[in-house]
Amino acid sequence: MSRQASIPLPGGRAVKRLGYGAMQLAGPGVFGPPRDHEAALAVLRAAVEAGVNHIDTSDFYGPHVTNRLIREALAPYPDDLLIVTKIGALRGDDASWLPAFEPDELARAIDDNLTKLGLETLDVVNLRLMFNARRPAEGSLTAPLKAVADLQRQGLVRHIGLSNVTPTQFEEARGIAKIVCVQNQYNLAHRDDDAFIDTLAAEGVAYVPFFPLGGVSPLQSAALSDVAARLKASPMQVALALLLQRSPNILLFPDTSSVVHLYENLAAASLTLPDDAVAELDVIGR
């Protein structure tokens, strides 16, 4: 598995399978400014210098924090850099996560992302469903997705993805717009989307796990630690390598605010897990 391995997107863009997630650059609870402004800029610059061409962000991180950092650190952007953002939520004054599905809210979110990033068009916009903020839950996405598709027709969005969705919602979405990616929670211990990943792979749709390393509760397992020790790798590298081997349509964007952890994460792209290690790890999530 090569760090240079990539997934083609419509329009001829190729995205390397291991990218970078900017969420942790905001303050505690993804709210407020970073603990260390200069360190946040350094991580973003190190990611691009290391060859990352896929950054995941949202203007509701902070809010407005990570997008401003990305612009300060990286603009003018490299030609091959794909910036992926999310809309569909707002942050309350108490740091709560609130649904924002109305057409005017979605249009404002697009404008906020464009303005803070300093772009005229957003490469990929994921519509984040909030029927349940913690997990996919059924509910019609037709109205909000039609609003996003209208913004795409206006030239403000190149590609549309979905986040926190069920297979039923994905099928509903396909009748409204071309969907290039699905972003759901998936990692070593959270494997609910196994069948969904296979469906998307057959359709040529990228699957992008969020919390690939566990999110606020980092992955911990004796089996994971044992495999990592045998392979002379870190547990987090093994966890990422497992996802890369799971299916060729998987893209990863592990979040970190540390340059050291950034390099550690990127090294996972060159780690190949033997079959017995994969079998041992697969038991954890099932």
Q: What is the pLDDT at residue 122? A: 98
> What is the Cα–Cα distance from 58 to 67, expressed in whole angstroms?
7
Tokens 């070593």 map to which residue? 188
Tell the residue number behind the tokens 């290391």, with chain if given: 50
What is the average pLDDT value for the chain, to the nearest integer? 94
Domain boundaries 6-219+247-258, corresponding CATH code: 3.20.20.100
Average pLDDT of span 25-32? 96
**N- to C-terminal Cα separation, the chain:** 25
Q: What is the pTM of this model?
A: 0.95
**Catalytic site residue from 20, 61, 186, 207:** 61
CA distance 170 to 271: 32
Using the CB atoms, write b or e for 244-283: b if 16+ within 10 Å: bbbeebbbbbbbbbebebbebbbbbbebebeeebeebbee
Report how far residue 251's alpha carbon sits from residue 210's, in angstroms, rounded to the nearest whole number.
10
Annotated active-site residue 263? The verdict is no
Grouping H, G, I as helix, E, B as strand and the rest as coil, residue 108 is helix
H or E stretch covering 127:
strand 122-128
Cα separations (Å) of 243 from 167, 206, 236, 248?
Answer: 20, 13, 11, 9
CA separation for the pair 225, 222 (Å, rounded): 5
- On the question of pLDDT at 16 being above 80, the answer is yes
Q: Kindly list the domain boundaries of the chain, sorted by start residue.
A: 6-219+247-258
The radius of gyration of the chain's CA atoms, rounded to the nearest angstrom, is 18
pLDDT digits (tens, 9 = 90+) for 96-154: 999 999 999 999 999 999 999 999 999 999 999 999 988 999 999 999 999 999 999 99
Closest CA to 15 of 123, 132, 146, 136: 123
| 236-279 pLDDT per residue, tens | 999 999 999 999 999 999 999 999 999 999 999 999 999 999 99
